[in-house]
Amino acid sequence: MPVRSRLPPSQLPYPTPAQPTFAQLRAFVTAAQKRNMSAAATELNLTQSAVSHAVRQLEGVLGVRLLERTGRGVTLSAAGERLLPLSEQVLAGIEALLRAAPAPAVSGLVRIAAFPSLARHLLPRALAQLSREYPAIALHLDDAHLERAAVIQAVRAGSADIGLTQLLPGMALAAHPLGDDLYELVAPSGWTLPQVWTRPYIHLGDLRDQQLPDALARHGIRLRPTLSLSSETAIVAMVASGLGFAVLPTLAIPELPASVSRRPLPWKMARSYGTVTRPSPLTPAVHAVLKVLWQAQEPAD
Residue 168: give its domain's CATH number.
Answer: 3.40.190.10
User: Is residue 250 assigned to a domain?
Assistant: yes
Domain, as residue range, for 29 = 9-100
What pLDDT, on the 0 to 100 scale, is given for residue 27?
93
Task: Clarify whether residues 263 and 193 are in a common domain.
Answer: yes
Q: State yes or no: pLDDT of 7 exceeds 60.
A: no
Q: What is the pTM of this model?
A: 0.60
Residue at a domain's end among 100, 122, 142: 100
Clarify whether residues 157 and 286 are in a common domain: yes
Q: Could you tell me where the DSSP H helices lie in 45-161?
A: 48-62, 78-100, 116-133, 148-157
- DSSP-assigned beta bridge partners for residue 177: 274
pLDDT value at residue 5? 46
Output the pLDDT for position 14: 47
**Could you give the number of structural domains in the chain?**
3
- What pLDDT was estimated at residue 79? 93
Taking residues 227-251, what's their average pLDDT?
Answer: 92
Residue 4 lies in a domain: no
Does residue 11 register a pLDDT over 70?
A: no
Count of other CB atoms within 10 angstroms of residue 238: 19
- 46 has a pLDDT exceeding 70: yes
For 16, what's the count of Cα atoms within 13 Å in the CB-facing half-sphere?
22
175 plus 282 within the same structural domain? yes
Mean pLDDT, rounded, for 69-79: 89
Q: For 241, what's the count of Cα atoms within 13 Å in the CB-facing half-sphere?
A: 9
Per-residue pLDDT band at 138 (split at 50, 70, 90): very high
Confidence check: pLDDT of 87 > 90? yes
Both 66 and 85 in a single domain? yes
- State whether 91 and 217 are in the same domain: no
Question: Is the model's pLDDT at 231 over the cut of 50?
Answer: yes
CATH (domain of 73) = 1.10.10.10
* In a domain? residue 2: no
Q: Are 206 and 147 in contact (CB under 8 A)?
A: yes
**Structural domain contains residue 139:** yes
- Who has greater pLDDT, 176 or 171? 176
208 pLDDT above the threshold of 80? no
> Which pLDDT value is given to residue 69?
87
Q: Residue 219's pLDDT is what?
A: 83
For residues 214 and 284, the model is more confident at 284
- Indicate whether 231 and 114 sit together in one domain: no
Q: With 0-12 CB in 10 A as exposed, 13-18 as middle and 19+ as buried, what is 280?
A: exposed
Tell me what the mean pLDDT of segment 128-149 comes to. 87
Pick the last residue of a domain from 68, 100, 132.
Answer: 100
Q: At residue 193, does pLDDT exceed 80?
A: yes
> 1 lies in a domain?
no
Residue 160 CA: distances (Å) to CA of 116, 132, 163: 15, 23, 7
**Which residues pair with residue 114 across a beta bridge?**
164
For residue 196, the model assigns a pLDDT of: 93
Residues 78 and 121 placed together within one structural domain of the fold: no
3-state secondary structure of 275: strand
Query: Is the pLDDT assigned to residue 17 strictly greater than 60?
Result: no
Q: How confident is the model at residue 139 (pLDDT cuts 50, 70, 90)?
A: very high
Banded pLDDT at 214 (limits 50, 70, 90): confident
Q: Quick one: pLDDT band at residue 184, thresholds 50, 70, 90?
A: very high
Tell me what pLDDT residue 103 has: 55
Within a domain: residue 27?
yes
Same domain, 265 and 286: no
- Structure confidence by residue, pLDDT tens digits, 99-131: 787 655 789 999 999 988 888 888 998 999 999
Averaged confidence pLDDT in the chain: 86
Q: Please say if the pLDDT value at position 225 is more than 70.
A: yes
| Residue 278 and residue 173 in one domain | yes
Angle subtended at Cα 22 by Cα 19 and Cα 24, rounded to the nearest 5 degrees: 75
Whether 78 and 143 map to the same domain: the answer is no
DSSP secondary-structure letter at 103? P
Q: What is the mean pLDDT of residues 54-81?
A: 91
Q: Is 267 in the same domain as 281?
A: no
